[in-house]
A = this chain, B = another copy of it.
């Protein structure tokens, strides 16, 4: 009866959402979610920040500037500086989570049919956003050191040399270079510099999505692409950086931000005026007070310590319970273990896992093409250490059942 525009005619289709129905079952242990651990929220610190924010109620209650409250931008610029990158207010836009930053960027930069490069495997909501914008997705593989920049360089060279495709230069490349979702991999410094050089050479925007960078619990920090862009001539013009308080403070604030060239940010602000006028000033004011009090620096080690314990417990249990049947790398931060079970498809494994009351996300959700059917993503953020041990034991039982049962 109604006539809808085509990209929205598909059903929700997210395999992660499909799993939601199992999460409420009594006794279910979930390694599926991308949610941060609820018991690690700084409840008292945020309550205090909320009280300070409301000391100036008009700031919380009235419309705010479309690009974000000035005091929040001030704090986020200081946070960016502590992370080693510079930023001015004109380079920054506050959004409803970094998810909205991506949506706004795609709306101002990507027309239907435009080529967009993305790492593979990749964050499914990004793939969905690209599909809704009707982009042509070209994937670049990821290994344990992140995006395969040599493969990217070869593709770009071949594409530019081909008269038929040279005109349709890719608009942008999307990557989570630090503790990637889903692979947990971190792009090496050398690859980062090489990637920035490619961006300048071919005029391609590098979209660095960095929600997990502060969640390092092992190894040495690697500067963000945004920070490194100052070391590569002209690269700052070709980097858009997303970050968010969702994984390090609380998703319920819905505070994310975009840092990019002022001309791009300005257009995203124009789009945001029309999209929702502004993100909630009240939670922006709370975030500003929280950051101004230094609460993030005090609280972050608690989260990193907990994730170190949880991530360690998961890797140890996987090794112990599944031995050679599973392949994975120990992550140095973030929320995820990316694994392969070569002897079985992860979809089939999931069916048996659900029967054993444990869930994870089969890898297929993270591929735009060439699905690795044996891959799976395990999140250690939300369950506690005991649940992680028990969940992996169930996973091992599910694995036995999946590999021994007749197909």
Contact = CB atoms under 8 A, between A and B. Distances in A.
B35 A57 contact: no
Interface string A178-215: 00000000000000000000000001010000000000
Given A254-B280, A277-B99, A280-B254, A43 B63 contact: no
Contact of A62 (B205, B250, B267): B250
Contacts of A36: 62
Contact of A279 (B61, B96, B128): B96
B273 A8 contact: no
B254 A279 contact: yes
Contact of A129 (B274, B281, B283, B286): B274
A50 interface: yes
B263 A282 contact: no
A192 to B, nearest CB: 22
Interface string A40-69: 010100110010001001111111100000
Contacts of A12: 270, 273
Contacts of A129: 274
A54 B47 contact: yes
Contacts of A54: 47, 50
A100 interface: yes
The winner among A64, A95, A111, A250 for most chain B CB atoms within 10 A is A250
A279 B278 CA distance: 11
Interface stretch (A102-110, A221-229, A298-306, A393-401): A102-110
Interface string A311-323: 0000000000000
Nearest to A205: B2
Contacts of A286: 282
B100 A132 contact: no
Interface string A1-27: 111111011111010010000000000
A220 interface: no
A5 B128 contact: no
A277 B38 contact: no
Interface of A: 1-6, 8-12, 14, 17, 35-36, 38, 41, 43, 46-47, 50, 54, 57-64, 95-97, 99-100, 103, 107-111, 125, 128-129, 132, 171, 203, 205, 237, 246, 250-254, 261, 263-264, 267, 270-271, 273-283, 286
Given A62-B251, A96-B280, A99-B275, 20 more contacts: A2-B109, A2-B261, A2-B263, A4-B109, A5-B111, A8-B107, A8-B271, A35-B63, A38-B61, A46-B57, A46-B61, A61-B253, A63-B252, A96-B279, A99-B274, A125-B277, A129-B274, A252-B282, A254-B278, A280-B280
23 contacts: A2-B261, A3-B171, A4-B108, A5-B111, A8-B108, A11-B270, A14-B273, A17-B273, A36-B62, A41-B57, A41-B61, A50-B50, A59-B252, A60-B250, A61-B250, A63-B252, A64-B252, A99-B274, A99-B275, A128-B274, A254-B276, A280-B283, A282-B286
